[in-house]
Amino acid sequence: MKRISALLLLFCITVAAMGRSFAAPTLAANLHAEAFSQSLSAQSAVLMEADSRTVLHEQTAHSPMGMASTTKIMTALVTAERLEADTVVTVPPQAVGIEGSSVYLVEGEPLTVKELLYALILASANDAAVALAIAVAGSEEAFCALMNEKAASLGLIDTHFENPHGLADDEHYTTAYELALLSAAVLEHPLLREIAATKRTAIPFDGTPNGRYLVNHNKMLTQYEGAIGLKTGFTKKTGRCLVSAACRDGMTLIAVTLNAPDDWRDHKALLDYGFDTYKRLTLFETGGFSYALPLVGGVSKTVILTNQAPLSLLLPKDHPTPTLKVELVHRFAFAPVLQEDVLGTLVLHCGEQSTSSPLAVAETALRKQEKRNRLMVCLEAIRDRIAAFFQSFAGKE
Residues with catalytic annotation?
69, 72, 124
**Can you tell me whether residue 76 is helix, strand or coil?**
helix
Write the CA distances from 367 to 316, 332, 362, integer angstroms. Answer: 48, 14, 16
| Nearest to 108, CA basis, from 129, 123, 87, 94 | 94
Q: Using CB atoms within 10 Å of the CB of residue 144, give its burial: 0 to 12 exposed, 13 to 18 middle, 19+ buried.
A: buried
59: left (phi over 0), alpha (psi -120 to 50) or beta: beta
> In this structure, what DSSP letter does residue 158 have?
T
| Nearest to 312, CA basis, from 51, 53, 24 | 51
| Nearest to 246, CA basis, from 277, 266, 265, 220 | 220
Q: 324 with 307: CB under 8 angstroms? A: no
Q: 345 with 329: CB under 8 angstroms? A: no
Separation of alpha carbons 128 and 94, rounded Å:
11
Separation of alpha carbons 59 and 67, rounded Å:
16
The full length of the chain comes to 397
Q: ∠ at Cα 196 (194, 202), nearest 5°?
A: 80
Could you please report the per-residue DSSP string of 118-131? HHHHHS--HHHHHH
Separation of alpha carbons 390 and 371, rounded Å:
29
Separation of alpha carbons 253 and 47, rounded Å:
7
Cis peptide before 110 (omega within 30 of 0): no
Q: Using CB atoms within 10 Å of the CB of residue 124, give its burial: 0 to 12 exposed, 13 to 18 middle, 19+ buried.
A: buried
